[in-house]
Structure 1
């Protein structure tokens, strides 16, 4: 009943798009193909979806647009991946939250290599990337409900970019490269920072505060709208850059963990969903920012 009411509300809000077949979520992979650690995700130039912890912890899986899945590689030792990001050259960056590290898989290579490591991190959780290839990593301390943001330059040098946050989780850079967004899962807030020319962060300001349910992954489309997964609510909310709710998409699963964009035109959203350990998909109205950069349109 609750799901039907939410669906009806979303339908009323999105009636023109819904009629065009947008914002209707369906499964892409079989249930429990991934562990409860399913996260990531990211889409390569060929349109395959990469997501972490396929079949077992410590792996990165690759899924075709038709839903066929296999292990692509495993991280070494006790490393466990979380956030994934491609840069505009097609290199893949993998956040290892156990080893406080970032791995990099160069185009054409089969084995990821250690790119950056910072013992002072609680963990690198999710990753954002600028057009120039600079990474920002969210770093939640779940036990103390606090968090930080780290900056990792193209040479792998790690510097603390912001501290004093709540449980920092989803993170994204605006299309113009001037704003970094980060959400806090426990505090249910989305914040924006101004990115200075030297990459430092300042001007922290509140974008959106939610009254219930958690926040997890977050990605932008080419217009700068944010898609935020609502962990526990089973939805993805679409926010304008200033925090207005533009849409809320109901999912067949209560615990979405993260989101990315792909498909032949960048307008297919892929969502990692923990309750059923699977990937979901739905069509959107505008391409994702990371997809646009990966395909050479900047």
Structure 2
């Protein structure tokens, strides 16, 4: 029998939340709003967004992207606006609270994807942009210019990146963490406008065994170990604090939610379901949404 996320009584003990097979193998991009609704891309077929209501154990369709677009990442800001990374058509969409209609807010033909995105306190979007064939990548900074539309810039960096994939910010918003899937490396950078500086390798896993990552308010990183069936919890210096065993072997990404921001939802490519576990520290993004951070 499937167990709701909040029913888990033990920390770091994962349970399956939704039935197997609801999503495509593109199951990705989980995000939770302030009301506790969980959103995940590619429910049933590519180009959709599913929703799991609070205390529910099955998904329902929430929205559809325009024809040909396929979402890979979702993030929700403090105002309740959902941002969608469309890797197929190189777009960023926004869905306003109370609606299901995606609105195009940024497009660049120069992008290879985007893959994953993260949101800063001021609304700036940082997007990872891997070129899988070339085994390279870069980061885009997308922000409003005054009262005008959003403008994007490929950020300069002190080193050539590998396939930039999982991405998130430190609690103070000054450090950007980037996971490179091909090498299994996780790097940190200081942000100075459109420039990434002071590149630092903080952890190396086996090649092709990392996917999405998220940070909590203590500065720890939670990393999806795809093909390893676990979530690695890292201190900011890269030290592995713990490894959380999951119900399947191909986690693609994760998100914090629940009333206290301490429930972690994980998208599983193997089995195409969502699982969840309780942690001991609130997620950075959840804290921003509530206005406490």
Query: TM-score w.r.t. structure 2 length?
Result: 0.92
Alignment partner for residue 63 of structure 1, among 32, 36, 52? 52
Whole-angstrom CA distance in 2 between matches of 1:157 and 1:74: 25
Is the Cα–Cα contact under 8 Å of residues 220 and 226 in structure 1 kept in the other structure?
A: yes
Whole-angstrom CA distance in 2 between matches of 1:100 and 1:199: 20
In the other structure, the counterpart of 2:91 is: 101
Deviation per residue, 1:113-144 (Å, 9 max, x gap): 00101101110000011111101100111111
Is the Cα–Cα contact under 8 Å of residues 213 and 233 in structure 1 kept in the other structure?
A: no
Alignment partner for residue 110 of structure 1, among 95, 100, 117? 100
In the other structure, the counterpart of 2:213 is: 218
SS of 1:149's equivalent in the other structure is strand
In the other structure, the counterpart of 1:3 is: none
Alignment partner for residue 157 of structure 1, among 151, 161, 170? 151
Deviation per residue, 1:4-35 (Å, 9 max, x gap): xxxxxxxxxxxxxxx97100111110001011
Alignment partner for residue 51 of structure 1, among 40, 43, 47? 40
SS of 2:288's equivalent in the other structure is helix
In the other structure, the counterpart of 1:176 is: 172
Written as runs of structure 1 = structure 2, the 5 A alignment for 1:189-268 is: 189-196=185-192, 198-211=193-206, 214-268=209-263
Alignment partner for residue 279 of structure 2, among 262, 284, 290? 284
SS of 2:155's equivalent in the other structure is strand
In the TM superposition, what is the alpha-carbon distance from 1:213 to its structure 2 partner?
5.0
Cα RMSD (Å) of the superposition?
1.4
In the TM superposition, what is the alpha-carbon distance from 1:162 to its structure 2 partner?
3.8
Give the helix-richer structure, 1 or 2.
1
SS of 1:291's equivalent in the other structure is helix
In the TM superposition, what is the alpha-carbon distance from 1:108 to its structure 2 partner?
2.3
Is the Cα–Cα contact under 8 Å of residues 26 and 42 in structure 2 kept in the other structure?
A: yes
In the other structure, the counterpart of 1:123 is: 113
Whole-angstrom CA distance in 2 between matches of 1:91 and 1:228: 25
In the TM superposition, what is the alpha-carbon distance from 1:199 to its structure 2 partner?
4.5
Whole-angstrom CA distance in 2 between matches of 1:110 and 1:35: 20
Quick one: structure 1 residues 35 and 224, their matched pair in 2 at CA, closer, same or farther if it must change by over 3 Å?
A: same
Count of paired positions = 279
Runs of 4+ in 1 over 6 A off after TM superposition: none
Is the Cα–Cα contact under 8 Å of residues 183 and 207 in structure 2 kept in the other structure?
A: no
In the other structure, the counterpart of 1:139 is: 129
SS of 1:157's equivalent in the other structure is strand
Indicate yes or no: 2:62 matched with 1:72. Answer: yes
Whole-angstrom CA distance in 1 between matches of 2:133 and 2:196: 25
In the other structure, the counterpart of 1:91 is: 81
